[in-house]
Amino acid sequence: MTTAACSPTDVDHDRDHDAPVPQPADPDAHQHEWLARSSHRTSEGTVTYESCHCGAHRVLRAGVPVARV
């Protein structure tokens, strides 16, 4: 498969390049509403897995966030 080079003389050039580029959702753009999905006890304290409706996730150990995705 070959791809044609983009040329400014193409009829569709401006239309193709002026379209907004979709950006990934910013997980820090709102106040998260964390919902505990599961938790269990470990030797280092209780581990809790939480998620937000925006798709963000975090892990808490003994109530302190230790990871976020």
Q: Let me know: does 67 contact 51? Beta carbons within 8 Å.
A: no
Q: What type of residue sits at position 33?
A: E
SS3 6: coil
Beta strands 35-42; 45-51: pairing state: antiparallel
pLDDT for the residue numbered 3: 46
Mean pLDDT in residue range 35-49: 94
SS3 39: strand
User: At residue 1, does pLDDT exceed 50?
Assistant: no
User: At residue 61, does pLDDT exceed 60?
Assistant: yes
pLDDT for the residue numbered 58: 94
Structure tokens at 59: 């892990």
